[in-house]
Amino acid sequence: MMVGSLSVKFPSFLASLVYWISVLSYGMYLWNNLIARFIENKFHSYPWPVVAGLYYGLTFFMAFLTYFTIEKPFLRLRGKMLVKHG
């Protein structure tokens, strides 16, 4: 990553984590409110670490599921349907 004139190298696991968060970010955005309301209604009396773990775990899981079952197939379909001029 270039920051001004500095080049910053991230460890590969961190780069991979950032990559997957960016891939899943739209699904996380879509599921965020629904999952937060569900957890608020069903788990309001649990300690906050449990609630936070459920929230983040369920959000990442649903975003992952949405990416591989809906978003990725449609992106492949888009690639097949685009007409290349040239």
51 within a domain of the structure (yes/no): yes
8 within a domain of the structure (yes/no): no
Helix 48-66 to helix 12-42 angle, to the nearest 10 degrees? 110
Q: 22 vs 80, which has greater pLDDT?
A: 22
Contacts of 7 (CB under 8 A, 6+ apart): 1
3 within a domain of the structure (yes/no): no
Structure tokens of 70? 């809906």
Per the structure, the count of domains in the chain is: 1
Distance in angstroms (rounded) separating the CA atoms of residues 55 and 69:
21
Across all residues in the chain, what is the average pLDDT?
Answer: 87
* Residue whose C-alpha is closest to residue 35's, from 61, 13, 67: 61
35-39 average pLDDT score: 96
60 within a domain of the structure (yes/no): yes
16 within a domain of the structure (yes/no): no
Task: For residue range 5-26, list pLDDT tens digits in order.
Answer: 666 677 888 888 888 889 999 9
13 within a domain of the structure (yes/no): no
